[in-house]
Amino acid sequence: MSVRTTAVPTTLQAYLMPGTTGLPAPAGSIPAALQALLSNSADGAQQFFAQQNFAANLVNDLNSGNIPWNTDTDVNGNPMYFAATTDDQGNAMYLTLEMSAAPPPGTTSFPQYTAPDGQQYDVTGSFTASMSWNNNSMWAVNVPFGFVSGTGALILEYYAWDSFMKPMLQGLLAGFKKLCASAVDCVDAAMVGEAGQAGESAAAVNDAAVGTDATISMTAGAFCFAGAALLIALPFVLSAIEHPTGHNVKIYNLTPFDLNWQSPPYVDDCAMTEYPASSDGTNTPQTTIPAPTTLSPPGGQPVTTYSEGDFAFQSTSSIRGISWAMQITFTDPNNGNAQVGQTAAMMFDLPLNVANSLAAAWGAAMTADALQSWAEQNYGQISQPQIISIDETSGLQMTLTYNALSGEQPLPGNPDEEGYVYQSAIVFQYQVS
């Protein structure tokens, strides 16, 4: 009779994978953070961006030591960290770092992830960093983690969940501290990427004690903090605008289709200085804002995340305002990427000393010259904070907003100063008949 024994790993190698970023919400619903924005109230967009910009206050307070990172436990009794700040009306903003629950006992099979170096990992759980305003989640990044393939089940069998999760969570906290500290120095898209890399480097865990004669090391893979870097650093980038007029734009995809934006867009007296970029470090435009994704980490509840794309336009003239226009198509990832509906066109005009205007239309794709002509014909025609346009054939709907139509506004990264920096949200929805 032979007895088969399995060596229990005493050196635990963990890996943080690329994060999934967006607005979390139940499938098929409108994220709570966007409900006021879409209510067509006069100040819906203004309130929405005031909340978004308040994230910079939280980062500044953390960096200065005015507020601390607090230790707590989540609903599963696992350790977590959070930081909170309030405005003069008593509204609270929270930044929370927490872990998924332990996989069910006896779990032996895990999803697999292959790292860029070819090493495979058992995906055993995830970390979530979330930003919320009062009780509404504004943004979240979910970072899966795993152990070297073939060791996940053994590690779960022989070691308590929180014994190795706690040092990894502390590593994640160190990464976010570095990310916050780096954010205030960001003045362009390249530096946002560098801030993310700094956070990833700081998140490394080296030989932390887990149990008797056992240690854990954790490596942060490239781009696991990419979404977090953009959220935290972008307000500071927008505050560094050197010219009179700037436009910060967020495009949200609430449809079940992939959204494909035209690159380059038509620009008039401005440059596109921020845009979704590919995750390979080349800063190549990522022209697809994906359909919602549902992540089911081992031990965690399924979470549907709606994707967004962040853009910024800055004036190239000190004596003129700015204008830009873009076309967007939709494709069905479940039907051979076939196009859905007509092409959406949008235009934003932000002139000096005249009210801002916008326009939206559906139809056949336009040439670059035709798009410019359409945009120029619509300058100054509709000056209101929100318009809604529906493609009747497909049920696709776009909502275009401004936070203000004229005048100086608080700068996103420095609300104590003002400038001609405006903010817009563009929301695409699918109206099922």
Alpha carbons 32 and 48: distance in angstroms, whole number: 11
Mean pLDDT of the chain: 89
Q: 88 or 387, which is more confident?
A: 387
pLDDT score of 427 more than 70: yes
Q: Average pLDDT, stretch 178-207? A: 90
Q: Average pLDDT, stretch 211-222? A: 90
pLDDT score of 230 more than 90: no
Q: Average pLDDT, stretch 286-290? A: 93
pLDDT score of 373 more than 90: yes
Q: Average pLDDT, stretch 300-309? A: 82
pLDDT score of 415 more than 80: no
Q: Average pLDDT, stretch 13-17? A: 95
pTM score, two decimals? 0.85
Lowest-pLDDT choice from 11-20, 262-271, 313-322, 362-371: 313-322
Q: Average pLDDT, stretch 73-89? A: 90
Cβ 268 vs Cβ 323: under 8 Å = yes
Q: 36 or 130, which is more confident?
A: 130
- State in words which class domain 241-430 has: mainly beta
What residue segments make up the domains of the chain, in order of their start? 11-230, 241-430
Q: What is the pLDDT of residue 330?
A: 98
Q: What is the pLDDT of residue 4?
A: 46
* Dihedral (Cα; 59, 64, 66, 67), 10-degree rounding: 40
Which band of pLDDT confidence, cut at 50, 70 and 90, is reported for residue 193?
A: confident
Q: What is the pLDDT of residue 3?
A: 47
Q: 114 or 212, which is more confident?
A: 114
56-68: pLDDT as tens digits: 888 989 999 999 9
Dihedral over Cα of 67, 99, 183, 202: its sign: positive
Residue closest to 220 by CA, chosen among 81, 18, 22 = 18
32-50: pLDDT as tens digits: 888 888 887 667 888 888 8
Q: What is the pLDDT of residue 273?
A: 85
Alpha carbons 35 and 48: distance in angstroms, whole number: 9
Q: What is the DSSP string of 71-139?
A: EEE-TTS-EEEEEEEE-TT--EEEEEEEEPPPPPTT-----EEE-TTS-EEEEEEEEEEEEEETTEEEE
Q: What is the pLDDT of residue 1?
A: 42
